Amino acid sequence: MQSLSTSSPSTQRARHRALIPLLGLAVAFVALGSMSLGPVSLGLGRIVGALAGHDDPVARAILLQLRLPRTLIGLMVGAMLGLSGAVLQGYLRNPLAEPSVLGASNASALGAVIALYFGLSEWHPALLPLMAILSGLLAIALLFALAGRSESPLSLILAGIAVSTLAGAGISLALNLSPNPFAAMEIMSWLLGSIENRAMQHVWIALPCIAVGVTLLLIDPRALDALSLGEDGARSLGVDLRRTRRRLMLGVAIGVGGAVAVSGAIGFVGLIVPHLIRPLTDRSPSALLIPSLLGGAVLLTGADILVRLIPTDAELKLGVVTAFLGVPVFLFYLLRERRLW
Amino acid sequence: MVTISTENLSVRLGRRDVLHGISARFEPGTLIGVIGPNGAGKSTLVRALVGLIDPHEGTVTLDGHDLAQLPARERARRVAYLPQGQTLHWPLTVERLVALGRLPHLGPISRISEEDQAAIEEAMARADVSHLAERVATELSGGERARALLARALAVGAKALVVDEPLASLDPGHQIDVMEMLVREAQGGAMVLAVLHDLNLAARHCDRLLVIDNGRLVADGPPAEVLTEETLRTVYGVTGYSRMLDDVPLVVPLTRWRG
């Protein structure tokens, strides 16, 4: 808010308009970085050459089998998490909302953990993501049953906490009962969240879910703006709250389900991206959506590049890095809230 | 021009009957005050009038059309509503807040047109907040905030304006400012309906007063007829004076009536 008083309205509007193109550039930049950086660095020329099908088998293999799927998944998952965080904060009118508030992330993780626990993922690799998506949808059905017809955000948050806690308990139970330490390790390591060693088939699993999720969340951004006036205010402006809620919850369940299915539980992206973006917009919920989608893609892919560059003995998990990134962001907001900054 | 009428309107919230058999007709070009004690059903009445609650019995009609059958956006374009205790959940600028009033006119992805922008600027001018356009609405003083919220409702461009307690926590000067704005809207041809608690402001500015008590319409007429000492006693349970001053009743409640 302090920044509002320091620059004139017209420069501010110009800055708001430049935000999406700038974030688009940043997406292109991290995507390129993610394709080129790793144990073997590839220059821009080799990337373009290999993608165009020139005779460079090593570069082609690295790009098409390793880096392209990893990059695409990083961009998609980050975009989905960033967008759903922005949508949920607007819908619930709560700056602390993120996909996990509704239990969507935990429930999808539980589905994947069940697949790991019973060894379903060894029958067919697609079973794990499918279980994750299915259980995310089940969680949303449960959420609707619990929240009932009430349109208040509080009942939805309480129902979300119930679903999330139930799913968390299920995950703990699986860890508790797991037959051997290796099985527990496998579950743990999946829960930390990573997009390493992903193949194009993971892209094909996540892409349709995320595409449906993003579309559902982007259909009517103005309904979120209307909700800044509360439920009665929004309804008196012609917004159908019941339909809006159904659309948004389905979008989050399907999209986040698809994202968690291929990346594991990656926290904080949905929470911090809208916070980072909000001061750069006019602060209306609709203005936050596309920038948060792009910002999420940049943040997650950037964090994944960091994972590759930080030398550690055991491989560093992406979810760990995003959790560490979340802390300074919230410290910053806390300090500003206390007027210490 | 918009006329809203209710015919034998009853509203039930949960298992509680809140309104019983209210029949009234609200004409364009008039400022109508709705008064009555706390919990009498005033807010429920106006929420039913703008289509936020469906009647349990009876009907609400907008220019002869059943309000419940009207599409939500169509209804939103014809009746503007300012809820009681309106809060703003994000620190939007005043201009951005007022622009929310144009939502019923916009498609999901269309941009704000020149016509919308003109309506926004006109609404800000009518509510005297043009000079606050770039200020953050959540950081305004009470009087500025009340006017900015009113500008949001005016920006809808509806011929009917329904406001629920627009004067809460305003000083006398700002209360009169808001009442005079409502008078101007009515003089401009709109049907303006305001839930009010200050009987003297209601008496001085409204063309007509409706008194709601215990879910029933107990009086309906010009202020001079409605605001009697008997109304004070039977509806509000207080003794007091009601005297005419410049042809307008001046009402002074004094003590709790223990009869």
Residue B189 has pLDDT above 90, yes or no: yes
Question: Which residues of chain B have a CB within 8 Å of the CB of A236?
Answer: 50, 52, 76, 79-81, 83
Per-residue pLDDT tens for A261-298? Answer: 899 888 889 999 999 999 899 999 999 999 999 999 99
Closest CA to A262 of A325, A194, A214: A194
Q: Where are the alpha helices (DSSP H) in B26-171?
A: 42-49, 72-78, 94-99, 114-126, 142-154
Mean pLDDT, rounded, of chain B: 94
Residue A102 has pLDDT above 90, yes or no: no
Look at residue B246 in the predicted model and tell me its pLDDT.
Answer: 87
Per-residue pLDDT tens for A174-202? Answer: 989 988 888 888 888 888 888 888 888 88
Residue B118 pLDDT grade (very low, low, confident, very high; cuts 50, 70, 90): very high
Mean pLDDT, rounded, of chain A: 87
* CB pairs < 8 Å spanning A and B: 78
* Cα–Cα dist A159/A166, whole Å: 11
DSSP string for A66-126: IIHHHHHHHHHHHHHHHHHHHHHHHHHT-TT--GGGGTHHHHHHHHHHHHHHTTHHHH-TT
Task: Pick B149 or A339 by higher pLDDT.
Answer: B149
Residue B75 has pLDDT above 90, yes or no: yes
Residue A3 pLDDT grade (very low, low, confident, very high; cuts 50, 70, 90): very low
Q: Looking at this protein, which amino acid is placed at residue A107?
A: A
Mean pLDDT of A158-180: 90
Question: Which residues of chain B have a CB within 8 Å of the CB of A227?
Answer: 89
Radius of gyration of chain B (CA): 18
Q: ∠ CA A251-A253-A255 to the nearest 5 degrees? A: 60
**Hey, how many other C-beta atoms are within 10 angstroms of the C-beta on A119?**
12
Q: Which overall architecture, per CATH, does domain A71-337 show?
A: Orthogonal Bundle (1.10)
Task: Pick A118 or B218 by higher pLDDT.
Answer: B218
Residue A5 pLDDT grade (very low, low, confident, very high; cuts 50, 70, 90): very low
Question: Do A68 and A59 form a contact (C-beta atoms < 8 A)?
Answer: no
Look at residue A20 in the predicted model and tell me its pLDDT.
Answer: 94
Residue A2 has pLDDT above 60, yes or no: no
Tell me the sheet residues that pair with B16.
B13
Mean pLDDT of A26-51: 87
Strand, coil or helix: A328:
helix
Handedness of CA A183, A187, A192, A196 (dihedral sign): positive
Are residues B91 and A237, on separate chains, in Cβ contact within 8 Å?
Answer: no
Residue B121 has pLDDT above 60, yes or no: yes
- Residue A317 is given by DSSP the state P
Domain ranges of chain A: 71-337
Question: Which residues of chain B have a CB within 8 Å of the CB of A232?
Answer: 47, 52, 81, 83
Per-residue pLDDT tens for B19-34? Answer: 999 999 999 999 999 9
Residue B126 has pLDDT above 90, yes or no: yes
Closest CA to B233 of B249, B255, B212, B217: B255
Handedness of CA B204, B205, B210, B212 (dihedral sign): negative
Tell me whether B85 touches chain A (CB under 8 Å).
Answer: no
State pTM to two decimals. 0.91
Look at residue A96 in the predicted model and tell me its pLDDT.
Answer: 84
Look at residue A153 in the predicted model and tell me its pLDDT.
Answer: 82
**Which of B50, B74, B88 is facing A228, going by the closest CB pair?**
B88
Strand, coil or helix: A283:
coil
Residue A4 has pLDDT above 60, yes or no: no
ipTM entry: 0.92
The token pair at B30 is 């008039």
Tell me the sheet residues that pair with B252.
B241
Mean pLDDT of A5-24: 78
Closest CA to A68 of A202, A255, A263, A267: A202
Domain ranges of chain B: 4-88+157-256
Closest CA to A169 of A249, A261, A103, A96: A103
Mean pLDDT of B84-109: 91
Mean pLDDT of A104-113: 89
Residue A341 has pLDDT above 60, yes or no: no
Distance from CA of A280 to the nearest CA of B (A): 13
DSSP string for B232-255: IIIII-EEEEEEEETTEEEEEEEE
Residue B114 has pLDDT above 60, yes or no: yes
Closest CA to A164 of A117, A97, A210, A80: A97
Residue A9 pLDDT grade (very low, low, confident, very high; cuts 50, 70, 90): low
Long-range contacts of B53-58 (CB under 8 A, 24+ apart): B53/B11, B53/B13, B55/B9, B55/B10, B55/B11, B56/B10, B56/B11, B56/B12, B56/B17, B57/B8, B57/B9, B57/B10, B57/B21, B58/B6, B58/B7, B58/B8, B58/B9, B58/B10, B58/B21, B58/B22, B58/B23
Interface residues of A toward B, Cβ cutoff 8 Å, are: 1, 4, 9, 93, 219-222, 225-230, 232-233, 235-240, 282-285
Look at residue B200 in the predicted model and tell me its pLDDT.
Answer: 95
Residue A340 pLDDT grade (very low, low, confident, very high; cuts 50, 70, 90): low
What CATH superfamily classification does B4-88+157-256 receive? P-loop containing nucleotide triphosphate hydrolases (3.40.50.300)
Residue A8 pLDDT grade (very low, low, confident, very high; cuts 50, 70, 90): low
**Which of B75, B87, B90 is facing A285, going by the closest CB pair?**
B90
* Cα–Cα dist A112/A193, whole Å: 12
* Mean pLDDT comparison of A3-17, A24-38, A125-139, highest-scoring range: A24-38
